[in-house]
Chains A and B, each alone.
Chain A
Amino acid sequence: MTETTTPSTDETTAEAFVPPTRFAVPGRIAVSTGTATTWQTATLTEIRRETPDAATFRFAVPAWEGHLPGHHLMLRLTAGDGYVAQRHYSIASAPDDSGHIELTLDHVDGGEVSGWFHTVARPGDSVEVRGPLSGFFAWPGDRPALLVGAGSGVVPLMSMLRHHRARGLDVPLRLLVSARSPEELIYAGEYGDETTAVFTRVAPDGVPVGRMATAHVAPLLAEQPPGGWEAYICGSNGFAEHASRLLVQAGQPVDRIRIERFG
């Protein structure tokens, strides 16, 4: 047992609670509070189909102050009677100076916002956005990144992968991505050697069908880069619970796992 060398003079803080893990805010990532509160007009310039259920929507946002890979934004649609619908969406595009950002949205059954995007929206339409928001899940490209996503959970991770490529970064990056079938794998044409795809329902010839498992995770954690991995998990809550347990069991420290879940 270590002796206390600096006795506390304050009785009330002598036994102050110390969390067992330091689940830290990454201090190196600043969020501008100015841009987070300002609604800006985003004009739809292009729609690209990704899978039968997902499409990418490209917007011109001339006053966009930039973002980091992993950031999200809040988007709102306004009906003629004043009704407003707001949703958080991850940004798919890498930070660049094009004055454009991209979102990739699943067509959710009965989704009032995703339904509008997939059945009504066309280039020239405008919506409102504010952000970027939440530096917690952001990755500036300075530390080895182990990215794990499922379904449209791959969207913020793709921003990281694109950033890695666009900047020619040599910091290690690996991506594990899960999809129901090759047809439903978002950004299928963009993956390279850094990516392992896992298929839960239908797989290409020679690839086993099944959910993400220790066999996918263990080799990555067995070969840790200097300083270890920062892990980023994004997907449904069920997937996030499963994937985070796999990583912890394989030895990834809990305070170096960041999770973004959607319901």
Chain B
Amino acid sequence: MNVTRGFTGRPRAHNPGLPPGQYDAGDDWPVLSAEVTPDLSPVDWTLRIDGLVAEPRTWDWEQAHALPTSAYEGDIHCVTSWSKFGVRFGGVSLDAFLEAVRPDPAATHAVAYAHTGYSANLPLTDLSGGRAWIVWEYDGKPLPAEHGGPARLIVPHLYFWKSAKWIAGIRILDHDEPGFWEQNGYHARGNPWEEQRYSGD
């Protein structure tokens, strides 16, 4: 351990919900997108799921909202080291979308695409089984544009760069394909509890 002289850190209670190297951002919700926030209205928003699936499909706003609603209430963790506790997102479980397109048994990975061109790769197992959502509400209100509104992906058990804002599509693959930050040196999976921040961690 390389102790920093005179550093004690801020007063803190042991928080079992805080992954290693993270701090509690409290009420803050920093915005960290690297691109210009798009001016995207619900009328223009679509979600396409294609690739290695039986029935590729595109949903518009109304069609997506016709699916059974599902909420996530819990914590989120950003690779830049803040975590945010007890957030509430409302939308639809990604399982509902995947059931409609029926991924091929050979499918192992996916790439999530944003309407801005941003992308993030994910193992398919991280997107299914009640672990991922397409959401359009935050705290009971429409998701703000700077946080990915009108709709974003959330995969809360991974670092938040995987939760692509302004989600436009998910391509199902039988191999892993690095996304935007992963091509910039970030970890392929990004599990906060394993501190998988950068490639090689």
Binding site for B on A (CB under 8 A): 11-13, 15-17, 19-25, 31-34, 36-37, 41, 74, 76-80, 82-88, 110, 112, 116, 120-121, 125-128, 130, 133-137, 237, 240-241, 244-245, 248, 254-255, 257-263
Partner of B199 from the list A33, A79, A237 (CB cut-off 8 Å) is A33
A259 and B33 contacting across the interface, CB-CB below 8 Å = yes
* B31-67 Cβ-contact flags toward A at 8 Å (1 or 0): 1111111100000000010111100101000000000
Query: Given the known A-B contacts A86-B21, A261-B33, are A17 and B116 also in contact in the complex, defined by CB atoms under 8 Å?
Result: no
B35 and A254 contacting across the interface, CB-CB below 8 Å = yes
Partner of A36 from the list B29, B56, B115, B199 (CB cut-off 8 Å) is B199
Query: Given the known A-B contacts A17-B169, A244-B36, A258-B34, are A133 and B198 also in contact in the complex, defined by CB atoms under 8 Å?
Result: yes
A79 and B4 contacting across the interface, CB-CB below 8 Å = yes
Contacts of B23 in A (CB 8 A): 85, 112
Cα of A11 to Cα of B34 in the assembled complex, Å: 34
A33 and B198 contacting across the interface, CB-CB below 8 Å = yes
For the side of the interface on B, what is the size category?
35 or more
A259 and B50 contacting across the interface, CB-CB below 8 Å = no
Partner of B51 from the list A12, A82, A84 (CB cut-off 8 Å) is A12
Contacts of A36 in B (CB 8 A): 185, 198-200
Of B8-16, B121-129, B134-142, the segment with at least 4 beta carbons within 8 Å of chain A is B8-16
Contacts of B82 in A (CB 8 A): 263
Cα of A136 to Cα of B168 in the assembled complex, Å: 22
Cα of A245 to Cα of B35 in the assembled complex, Å: 11
Q: Which 6 A-B pairs have the closest CB atoms?
A: A263-B30, A23-B117, A17-B169, A19-B117, A31-B185, A37-B200
B5 within 8 A of A: yes
Cα of A146 to Cα of B163 in the assembled complex, Å: 30
A78 and B200 contacting across the interface, CB-CB below 8 Å = no
A78 and B28 contacting across the interface, CB-CB below 8 Å = no
- How far in angstroms is the closest Cβ of chain B from A77? 4
Partner of B185 from the list A110, A121, A133, A255 (CB cut-off 8 Å) is A133
B4 and A12 contacting across the interface, CB-CB below 8 Å = no
Contacts of A245 in B (CB 8 A): 36
Contacts of B36 in A (CB 8 A): 244-245, 248, 254, 257, 259
Partner of A25 from the list B4, B28, B183 (CB cut-off 8 Å) is B183
Contacts of A136 in B (CB 8 A): 34, 180-181, 184
Contacts of B185 in A (CB 8 A): 31-33, 36, 133-135
Cα of A74 to Cα of B34 in the assembled complex, Å: 18
Cα of A19 to Cα of B117 in the assembled complex, Å: 5
- How far in angstroms is the closest Cβ of chain B from A170? 28
Contacts of B4 in A (CB 8 A): 77-79, 116, 125-127
Cα of A16 to Cα of B56 in the assembled complex, Å: 9
Contacts of A86 in B (CB 8 A): 21, 81
Cα of A14 to Cα of B131 in the assembled complex, Å: 29
A237 and B146 contacting across the interface, CB-CB below 8 Å = yes
Partner of A17 from the list B6, B113, B146, B201 (CB cut-off 8 Å) is B113
B199 and A37 contacting across the interface, CB-CB below 8 Å = yes
Contacts of A23 in B (CB 8 A): 35, 116-118, 180
Contacts of A137 in B (CB 8 A): 34
A22 and B56 contacting across the interface, CB-CB below 8 Å = no
- How far in angstroms is the closest Cβ of chain A from B131? 22
Partner of B113 from the list A19, A88, A121, A258 (CB cut-off 8 Å) is A19
Contacts of A254 in B (CB 8 A): 35-36, 38, 116
Contacts of A263 in B (CB 8 A): 25, 28-32, 82
Cα of A112 to Cα of B186 in the assembled complex, Å: 26
Cα of A135 to Cα of B34 in the assembled complex, Å: 12
B31 and A237 contacting across the interface, CB-CB below 8 Å = yes
A13 and B184 contacting across the interface, CB-CB below 8 Å = no
Contacts of B28 in A (CB 8 A): 263
Partner of A88 from the list B5, B34, B35, B81 (CB cut-off 8 Å) is B81
